[in-house]
Amino acid sequence: MDSHKSIQNLSIPELDVDAVRKDFPILQTTIHDKPLIYLDNAASSQKPEFVIKTINNYYSYEHSNVHRGIHHLSQQATQQYEQAREKVANFIGANHSHEIIWTRGTTEAINLVAYSWGQNNLKQGDVIIISTCEHHSNIVPWQLICELTGATLRHLPLDSHDKSFNLNKLAEMLTPNTRMIALTHMSNVLGTITDLSKVVELARHNGSLVLADGAQSVPHIPVNVAELGIDFLAFSGHKMLGPTGIGCLYGREELLEDMPPYQGGGDMIETVTMSQSTWNQLPYKFEAGTPNIAGAIGLGAAVDYLEHLGMESVRAHSHKLNSYAISALSEIDQISIYGPRNPSVRGGVFSFNHADIHPHDLGQVLDSKGVAIRAGHHCAQPLMAELGVGSTARASFYIYNTQSEIDELCAAIKSAGEFFSK
Protein backbone atom coordinates (compact mmCIF):
# COMPACT_ATOMS: atom_id res chain seq x y z
CA MET A 1 0.00 0.00 0.00
CA ASP A 2 1.20 3.52 -0.69
CA SER A 3 1.81 4.80 2.82
CA HIS A 4 0.83 8.29 1.68
CA LYS A 5 -2.76 7.25 0.94
CA SER A 6 -5.10 7.87 3.84
CA ILE A 7 -5.72 4.65 5.72
CA GLN A 8 -8.42 6.05 7.97
CA ASN A 9 -11.28 4.90 5.76
CA LEU A 10 -10.02 1.49 4.75
CA SER A 11 -11.45 -1.57 6.39
CA ILE A 12 -8.45 -3.23 7.96
CA PRO A 13 -8.68 -5.81 10.77
CA GLU A 14 -7.71 -4.17 14.07
CA LEU A 15 -4.82 -5.67 16.01
CA ASP A 16 -5.90 -7.56 19.09
CA VAL A 17 -3.35 -5.76 21.24
CA ASP A 18 -4.23 -7.66 24.44
CA ALA A 19 -3.52 -10.93 22.67
CA VAL A 20 -0.34 -9.52 21.07
CA ARG A 21 0.95 -8.38 24.47
CA LYS A 22 0.56 -11.89 25.89
CA ASP A 23 2.97 -13.14 23.21
CA PHE A 24 5.85 -11.04 24.62
CA PRO A 25 7.39 -12.48 27.81
CA ILE A 26 9.19 -9.23 28.64
CA LEU A 27 5.91 -7.32 28.75
CA GLN A 28 4.82 -9.54 31.65
CA THR A 29 7.76 -8.28 33.74
CA THR A 30 8.25 -5.22 35.92
CA ILE A 31 10.99 -2.55 35.96
CA HIS A 32 11.65 -0.83 39.31
CA ASP A 33 8.56 -2.70 40.59
CA LYS A 34 6.38 -1.04 37.92
CA PRO A 35 4.86 -2.65 34.84
CA LEU A 36 7.23 -2.13 31.90
CA ILE A 37 6.10 0.51 29.40
CA TYR A 38 8.50 -0.04 26.55
CA LEU A 39 8.67 2.99 24.25
CA ASP A 40 12.15 2.49 22.76
CA ASN A 41 11.13 0.46 19.73
CA ALA A 42 12.97 2.61 17.21
CA ALA A 43 16.19 1.47 18.89
CA SER A 44 15.14 -2.19 19.08
CA SER A 45 11.84 -4.02 19.38
CA GLN A 46 10.98 -6.72 21.91
CA LYS A 47 10.66 -10.37 20.80
CA PRO A 48 7.58 -12.59 20.81
CA GLU A 49 7.78 -16.04 22.34
CA PHE A 50 7.33 -17.52 18.86
CA VAL A 51 10.66 -16.03 17.71
CA ILE A 52 12.44 -16.90 20.96
CA LYS A 53 11.19 -20.51 20.78
CA THR A 54 12.16 -20.85 17.11
CA ILE A 55 15.74 -19.84 17.92
CA ASN A 56 15.81 -22.00 21.05
CA ASN A 57 14.51 -24.99 19.11
CA TYR A 58 17.02 -24.45 16.32
CA TYR A 59 19.97 -24.43 18.72
CA SER A 60 18.53 -27.24 20.86
CA TYR A 61 17.72 -29.74 18.11
CA GLU A 62 18.50 -28.51 14.61
CA HIS A 63 21.85 -26.75 14.53
CA SER A 64 24.58 -27.50 12.03
CA ASN A 65 26.56 -25.42 9.55
CA VAL A 66 24.83 -24.64 6.26
CA HIS A 67 25.72 -25.31 2.61
CA ARG A 68 28.62 -27.58 3.50
CA GLY A 69 27.41 -30.89 4.77
CA ILE A 70 25.76 -33.89 3.22
CA HIS A 71 24.44 -35.08 6.57
CA HIS A 72 20.82 -34.67 7.59
CA LEU A 73 21.26 -31.86 10.13
CA SER A 74 23.25 -29.71 7.73
CA GLN A 75 20.67 -30.19 5.01
CA GLN A 76 17.86 -29.36 7.41
CA ALA A 77 19.65 -26.21 8.67
CA THR A 78 20.32 -25.13 5.08
CA GLN A 79 16.68 -25.65 4.17
CA GLN A 80 15.45 -23.53 7.10
CA TYR A 81 18.05 -20.85 6.45
CA GLU A 82 17.09 -20.57 2.78
CA GLN A 83 13.38 -20.70 3.61
CA ALA A 84 13.94 -17.66 5.85
CA ARG A 85 15.47 -15.85 2.88
CA GLU A 86 12.38 -16.69 0.80
CA LYS A 87 10.09 -15.41 3.56
CA VAL A 88 11.97 -12.10 3.68
CA ALA A 89 11.92 -11.83 -0.13
CA ASN A 90 8.12 -12.33 -0.17
CA PHE A 91 7.66 -9.94 2.73
CA ILE A 92 9.27 -7.04 0.85
CA GLY A 93 8.01 -8.03 -2.61
CA ALA A 94 11.41 -8.94 -4.12
CA ASN A 95 11.28 -10.83 -7.40
CA HIS A 96 13.88 -13.41 -6.35
CA SER A 97 15.15 -14.70 -3.03
CA HIS A 98 18.74 -14.36 -4.32
CA GLU A 99 18.18 -10.59 -4.26
CA ILE A 100 18.23 -10.85 -0.45
CA ILE A 101 21.73 -10.72 1.04
CA TRP A 102 22.05 -11.48 4.76
CA THR A 103 24.01 -8.83 6.63
CA ARG A 104 24.50 -7.93 10.29
CA GLY A 105 21.90 -5.19 9.90
CA THR A 106 21.10 -1.95 8.13
CA THR A 107 24.55 -0.53 8.80
CA GLU A 108 26.37 -3.40 7.15
CA ALA A 109 23.90 -3.46 4.24
CA ILE A 110 24.56 0.21 3.42
CA ASN A 111 28.32 -0.25 3.82
CA LEU A 112 28.12 -3.21 1.42
CA VAL A 113 26.51 -1.06 -1.28
CA ALA A 114 28.75 1.95 -0.66
CA TYR A 115 31.94 -0.12 -0.97
CA SER A 116 31.01 -2.76 -3.49
CA TRP A 117 28.85 -0.68 -5.85
CA GLY A 118 30.76 2.55 -5.12
CA GLN A 119 34.19 1.07 -5.82
CA ASN A 120 33.07 -0.07 -9.26
CA ASN A 121 30.89 2.84 -10.26
CA LEU A 122 32.08 6.10 -8.70
CA LYS A 123 34.71 8.52 -9.95
CA GLN A 124 35.57 12.17 -9.56
CA GLY A 125 32.68 14.39 -10.63
CA ASP A 126 30.01 11.85 -9.64
CA VAL A 127 27.50 12.87 -6.98
CA ILE A 128 25.74 10.96 -4.20
CA ILE A 129 22.73 12.64 -2.60
CA ILE A 130 21.66 11.95 0.96
CA SER A 131 19.56 14.14 3.28
CA THR A 132 20.09 16.05 6.49
CA CYS A 133 17.89 13.64 8.40
CA GLU A 134 19.85 10.44 7.84
CA HIS A 135 21.07 8.08 10.53
CA HIS A 136 24.88 8.09 10.69
CA SER A 137 24.86 4.69 9.00
CA ASN A 138 23.49 6.34 5.84
CA ILE A 139 26.02 9.18 6.01
CA VAL A 140 29.41 7.85 7.05
CA PRO A 141 29.72 4.95 4.51
CA TRP A 142 29.07 7.48 1.71
CA GLN A 143 31.62 9.89 3.15
CA LEU A 144 34.19 7.08 3.20
CA ILE A 145 33.56 5.92 -0.37
CA CYS A 146 33.53 9.51 -1.66
CA GLU A 147 36.93 10.00 -0.05
CA LEU A 148 38.22 6.86 -1.77
CA THR A 149 36.80 7.57 -5.23
CA GLY A 150 36.78 11.38 -5.43
CA ALA A 151 32.98 11.50 -5.79
CA THR A 152 31.06 14.31 -4.07
CA LEU A 153 28.48 13.88 -1.30
CA ARG A 154 25.66 16.42 -1.32
CA HIS A 155 22.73 16.66 1.03
CA LEU A 156 19.10 17.46 0.47
CA PRO A 157 18.04 20.12 2.97
CA LEU A 158 14.77 19.65 4.83
CA ASP A 159 11.73 21.81 4.37
CA SER A 160 12.11 24.63 6.89
CA HIS A 161 8.43 24.46 7.88
CA ASP A 162 7.84 20.83 8.89
CA LYS A 163 11.29 19.28 8.28
CA SER A 164 9.94 17.00 5.56
CA PHE A 165 11.87 16.23 2.38
CA ASN A 166 11.52 18.93 -0.20
CA LEU A 167 11.18 16.91 -3.39
CA ASN A 168 11.15 20.04 -5.57
CA LYS A 169 14.54 20.83 -4.13
CA LEU A 170 15.65 17.26 -4.89
CA ALA A 171 14.54 17.69 -8.51
CA GLU A 172 16.66 20.87 -8.72
CA MET A 173 19.71 19.12 -7.28
CA LEU A 174 19.69 16.22 -9.76
CA THR A 175 22.15 16.30 -12.64
CA PRO A 176 23.37 13.60 -15.03
CA ASN A 177 26.30 13.17 -12.60
CA THR A 178 24.00 12.09 -9.78
CA ARG A 179 24.69 8.37 -9.41
CA MET A 180 22.87 7.49 -6.20
CA ILE A 181 20.12 8.96 -4.02
CA ALA A 182 20.29 7.32 -0.59
CA LEU A 183 17.45 8.34 1.74
CA THR A 184 15.79 7.12 4.86
CA HIS A 185 12.33 5.65 4.22
CA MET A 186 11.24 6.65 7.72
CA SER A 187 13.21 9.03 9.91
CA ASN A 188 14.34 7.55 13.22
CA VAL A 189 14.02 11.02 14.78
CA LEU A 190 11.09 12.77 13.10
CA GLY A 191 9.07 9.75 12.03
CA THR A 192 8.63 11.30 8.57
CA ILE A 193 7.86 8.80 5.81
CA THR A 194 9.57 9.50 2.49
CA ASP A 195 7.51 9.32 -0.68
CA LEU A 196 9.92 6.89 -2.34
CA SER A 197 7.83 6.41 -5.49
CA LYS A 198 8.28 10.12 -6.26
CA VAL A 199 12.01 9.93 -5.48
CA VAL A 200 12.32 6.97 -7.88
CA GLU A 201 10.38 8.86 -10.57
CA LEU A 202 12.81 11.79 -10.29
CA ALA A 203 15.84 9.52 -10.17
CA ARG A 204 14.81 7.64 -13.32
CA HIS A 205 14.87 10.88 -15.36
CA ASN A 206 18.52 11.26 -14.46
CA GLY A 207 19.65 7.65 -14.52
CA SER A 208 20.40 7.69 -10.80
CA LEU A 209 19.89 4.73 -8.49
CA VAL A 210 17.86 4.88 -5.26
CA LEU A 211 18.81 3.24 -1.98
CA ALA A 212 16.26 3.32 0.83
CA ASP A 213 17.22 2.95 4.46
CA GLY A 214 14.31 0.81 5.64
CA ALA A 215 15.47 0.32 9.25
CA GLN A 216 12.38 2.12 10.56
CA SER A 217 9.93 1.52 7.71
CA VAL A 218 10.11 -2.24 7.10
CA PRO A 219 9.01 -3.10 10.67
CA HIS A 220 6.09 -0.65 10.63
CA ILE A 221 4.56 -0.15 7.18
CA PRO A 222 3.96 -2.44 4.21
CA VAL A 223 7.03 -2.11 1.96
CA ASN A 224 7.10 -3.55 -1.56
CA VAL A 225 10.37 -2.98 -3.40
CA ALA A 226 8.94 -3.90 -6.80
CA GLU A 227 6.03 -1.45 -6.45
CA LEU A 228 8.29 1.30 -5.13
CA GLY A 229 10.84 0.65 -7.89
CA ILE A 230 13.83 1.20 -5.59
CA ASP A 231 17.21 -0.36 -6.36
CA PHE A 232 18.45 -1.16 -2.87
CA LEU A 233 16.76 -1.52 0.52
CA ALA A 234 18.58 -1.99 3.82
CA PHE A 235 16.94 -3.10 7.08
CA SER A 236 17.59 -4.78 10.44
CA GLY A 237 15.96 -7.83 12.03
CA HIS A 238 16.12 -6.57 15.61
CA LYS A 239 13.75 -3.64 14.99
CA MET A 240 11.08 -5.97 13.56
CA LEU A 241 10.75 -8.59 16.33
CA GLY A 242 13.77 -10.59 15.17
CA PRO A 243 17.15 -11.17 16.79
CA THR A 244 20.11 -8.79 16.79
CA GLY A 245 23.04 -9.35 14.44
CA ILE A 246 20.93 -10.13 11.37
CA GLY A 247 19.61 -7.83 8.67
CA CYS A 248 19.19 -7.65 4.95
CA LEU A 249 20.25 -5.92 1.85
CA TYR A 250 17.78 -6.16 -1.01
CA GLY A 251 19.37 -5.31 -4.36
CA ARG A 252 18.08 -5.58 -7.90
CA GLU A 253 19.52 -8.71 -9.50
CA GLU A 254 21.37 -7.03 -12.36
CA LEU A 255 23.00 -4.52 -10.00
CA LEU A 256 24.12 -7.22 -7.56
CA GLU A 257 25.44 -9.33 -10.46
CA ASP A 258 27.69 -6.43 -11.52
CA MET A 259 29.04 -5.70 -8.05
CA PRO A 260 32.30 -7.24 -6.80
CA PRO A 261 32.37 -9.19 -3.50
CA TYR A 262 32.40 -7.15 -0.33
CA GLN A 263 34.43 -9.61 1.75
CA GLY A 264 36.44 -12.70 0.85
CA GLY A 265 36.41 -16.14 2.48
CA GLY A 266 34.52 -19.40 2.54
CA ASP A 267 31.17 -19.82 0.74
CA MET A 268 31.54 -16.74 -1.47
CA ILE A 269 33.84 -18.45 -4.00
CA GLU A 270 33.34 -20.83 -6.89
CA THR A 271 37.01 -21.81 -7.32
CA VAL A 272 40.22 -20.82 -5.57
CA THR A 273 43.78 -21.32 -6.81
CA MET A 274 46.92 -19.85 -5.31
CA SER A 275 46.85 -17.11 -7.94
CA GLN A 276 43.18 -16.20 -8.24
CA SER A 277 39.58 -16.95 -7.30
CA THR A 278 36.18 -16.87 -8.99
CA TRP A 279 32.95 -15.95 -7.28
CA ASN A 280 29.92 -17.92 -6.24
CA GLN A 281 26.48 -17.04 -7.60
CA LEU A 282 24.09 -14.64 -5.89
CA PRO A 283 23.42 -14.25 -3.02
CA TYR A 284 26.45 -16.22 -1.73
CA LYS A 285 28.98 -13.95 -3.48
CA PHE A 286 28.27 -11.43 -0.71
CA GLU A 287 28.09 -13.87 2.21
CA ALA A 288 31.64 -14.82 3.16
CA GLY A 289 32.12 -17.18 6.10
CA THR A 290 29.71 -19.04 8.36
CA PRO A 291 26.61 -16.87 8.48
CA ASN A 292 24.27 -16.00 11.34
CA ILE A 293 22.11 -19.07 10.72
CA ALA A 294 20.00 -18.83 13.88
CA GLY A 295 19.59 -15.10 13.28
CA ALA A 296 18.23 -15.65 9.77
CA ILE A 297 15.86 -18.39 10.96
CA GLY A 298 14.75 -16.13 13.85
CA LEU A 299 14.11 -13.28 11.43
CA GLY A 300 12.09 -15.67 9.26
CA ALA A 301 9.95 -16.42 12.34
CA ALA A 302 9.54 -12.67 12.99
CA VAL A 303 8.32 -12.25 9.42
CA ASP A 304 5.84 -15.11 9.96
CA TYR A 305 4.56 -13.35 13.08
CA LEU A 306 4.19 -9.95 11.36
CA GLU A 307 2.46 -11.55 8.38
CA HIS A 308 0.10 -13.33 10.73
CA LEU A 309 -0.88 -9.91 12.16
CA GLY A 310 -0.93 -8.34 8.68
CA MET A 311 1.24 -5.32 7.86
CA GLU A 312 -1.82 -3.23 6.98
CA SER A 313 -3.09 -3.82 10.52
CA VAL A 314 0.34 -3.03 11.95
CA ARG A 315 0.33 0.27 10.07
CA ALA A 316 -3.27 1.04 11.09
CA HIS A 317 -2.40 0.47 14.75
CA SER A 318 0.58 2.80 14.43
CA HIS A 319 -1.64 5.42 12.77
CA LYS A 320 -4.09 5.24 15.66
CA LEU A 321 -1.36 5.57 18.30
CA ASN A 322 0.30 8.41 16.37
CA SER A 323 -2.92 10.47 16.24
CA TYR A 324 -3.42 9.89 19.93
CA ALA A 325 0.20 10.72 20.83
CA ILE A 326 0.19 13.94 18.79
CA SER A 327 -2.84 15.30 20.62
CA ALA A 328 -1.79 13.97 24.06
CA LEU A 329 1.77 15.34 23.86
CA SER A 330 0.56 18.64 22.39
CA GLU A 331 -1.51 19.21 25.52
CA ILE A 332 1.66 19.49 27.61
CA ASP A 333 2.69 23.16 27.29
CA GLN A 334 6.41 22.61 27.89
CA ILE A 335 6.74 19.95 25.17
CA SER A 336 7.83 20.70 21.60
CA ILE A 337 7.41 17.81 19.17
CA TYR A 338 9.67 17.61 16.12
CA GLY A 339 8.39 16.29 12.80
CA PRO A 340 5.05 16.29 10.98
CA ARG A 341 1.71 16.46 12.81
CA ASN A 342 -0.16 14.51 10.15
CA PRO A 343 -0.22 10.82 11.25
CA SER A 344 -0.61 9.67 7.64
CA VAL A 345 2.89 10.82 6.70
CA ARG A 346 4.70 9.72 9.81
CA GLY A 347 5.51 6.61 11.77
CA GLY A 348 5.37 6.08 15.50
CA VAL A 349 8.66 7.78 16.38
CA PHE A 350 8.22 10.92 18.49
CA SER A 351 11.17 13.15 19.28
CA PHE A 352 10.46 15.98 21.65
CA ASN A 353 12.04 18.34 24.12
CA HIS A 354 10.82 19.70 27.42
CA ALA A 355 11.34 23.43 27.99
CA ASP A 356 12.63 22.89 31.55
CA ILE A 357 14.23 19.43 31.56
CA HIS A 358 17.25 18.05 29.71
CA PRO A 359 16.30 14.94 27.69
CA HIS A 360 18.69 12.73 29.70
CA ASP A 361 17.14 13.86 33.00
CA LEU A 362 13.69 13.33 31.57
CA GLY A 363 14.69 9.84 30.41
CA GLN A 364 15.95 9.01 33.89
CA VAL A 365 12.83 10.23 35.68
CA LEU A 366 10.63 8.33 33.23
CA ASP A 367 12.71 5.20 33.76
CA SER A 368 12.08 5.39 37.49
CA LYS A 369 8.37 5.19 36.63
CA GLY A 370 8.84 2.13 34.42
CA VAL A 371 8.64 4.11 31.15
CA ALA A 372 11.54 3.29 28.81
CA ILE A 373 12.29 6.05 26.29
CA ARG A 374 15.56 7.12 24.64
CA ALA A 375 17.45 10.38 24.99
CA GLY A 376 20.38 11.55 22.89
CA HIS A 377 21.28 12.45 19.34
CA HIS A 378 19.86 9.17 17.97
CA CYS A 379 22.87 8.75 15.64
CA ALA A 380 21.65 11.78 13.70
CA GLN A 381 23.97 14.61 14.67
CA PRO A 382 23.49 16.62 11.43
CA LEU A 383 19.74 16.57 12.06
CA MET A 384 20.23 17.69 15.67
CA ALA A 385 22.29 20.62 14.31
CA GLU A 386 19.47 21.43 11.86
CA LEU A 387 16.92 21.33 14.71
CA GLY A 388 19.24 23.53 16.79
CA VAL A 389 19.46 21.07 19.69
CA GLY A 390 22.12 18.75 21.07
CA SER A 391 19.70 15.94 21.81
CA THR A 392 16.03 15.05 22.14
CA ALA A 393 13.88 12.66 24.11
CA ARG A 394 12.30 10.01 21.89
CA ALA A 395 9.29 7.75 22.47
CA SER A 396 8.66 5.15 19.79
CA PHE A 397 5.77 2.73 19.55
CA TYR A 398 5.09 -0.75 18.17
CA ILE A 399 2.38 -3.36 17.88
CA TYR A 400 2.11 -4.00 21.64
CA ASN A 401 1.81 -0.38 22.75
CA THR A 402 -1.51 1.11 23.85
CA GLN A 403 -3.19 4.46 24.27
CA SER A 404 -3.12 3.98 28.02
CA GLU A 405 0.67 3.64 27.86
CA ILE A 406 0.75 7.01 26.05
CA ASP A 407 -1.38 8.38 28.91
CA GLU A 408 1.21 7.00 31.37
CA LEU A 409 4.00 8.61 29.34
CA CYS A 410 2.26 11.98 29.44
CA ALA A 411 1.47 11.67 33.17
CA ALA A 412 5.14 10.83 33.85
CA ILE A 413 6.31 13.85 31.79
CA LYS A 414 3.91 16.12 33.68
CA SER A 415 5.05 14.81 37.04
CA ALA A 416 8.73 15.24 35.98
CA GLY A 417 7.87 18.83 35.02
CA GLU A 418 6.38 19.47 38.46
CA PHE A 419 9.41 17.91 40.17
CA PHE A 420 11.95 19.99 38.19
CA SER A 421 10.02 23.25 38.61
CA LYS A 422 10.23 22.98 42.44
Ligand X SMILES: Cc1ncc(COP(=O)(O)O)c(C=O)c1O
Which residues carry out catalysis? 379
The two beta strands, 277-279 and 269-272, are antiparallel
Binding track, positions 9-48, relative to ligand X; x by CB under 6 A: ---------------------------------xx-----
| Cα→Cα distances 131→122, 136, 202, 221, Å | 19, 11, 15, 21
Instruction: Find the length of the chain.
Output: 422
Question: Quick one: 137 or 391, whose CB is closer to ligand X?
Answer: 137
Type of residue numbered 233: L
> Contact between 135 and ligand X (CB under 6 A)?
yes
Closer to ligand X by Cβ: residue 236 or 401: 236
Tell me: does residue 188 bind ligand X (CB under 6 A): yes
Sheet of 127-131, strand order? 100-103, 247-251, 232-236, 209-213, 178-184, 127-131, 152-156
With CB under 6 A as the rule, give the number of residues binding ligand X.
Answer: 15
Q: Which residues contact 405 (CB under 8 A, 6 or more apart)?
A: 37, 39
Whole-number minimum distance, CB 132 to ligand X, in Å?
A: 13
Give the contact letters, 144-183, x = binds to ligand X (CB under 6 A), - = no: ----------------------------------------
347 within 8 A of 220, measured Cβ to Cβ: yes
> Positive or negative CA dihedral for 357, 358, 359, 365?
negative
Min dist CB 337 to ligand X, Å, is 18
User: Please, what is the minimum distance in Å from the beta carbon of residue 73 to ligand X?
Assistant: 30
Closest separation between CB of residue 190 and ligand X, Å? 11
* Binding map of ligand X across residues 244-273, x = CB under 6 A, - = no contact: ---x--------------------------
Contact between 351 and ligand X by CB under 6 A: the answer reads: no
Dihedral angle of Cα 376, 382, 388, 390, to the nearest 10 degrees: 30
Q: Nearer Cβ to ligand X, position 320 or 378?
A: 378
The alpha-helical segments, DSSP class H, found in 32-138 are: 49-57, 72-91, 106-112, 118-121
- Amino acid letter for position 81: Y
Is residue 184 within the footprint of ligand X (CB under 6 A)? yes
213 binds ligand X (CB under 6 A): yes
Residues that bind ligand X (CB under 6 A): 42-43, 105-107, 135, 137-138, 184, 188, 213, 215-216, 236, 247
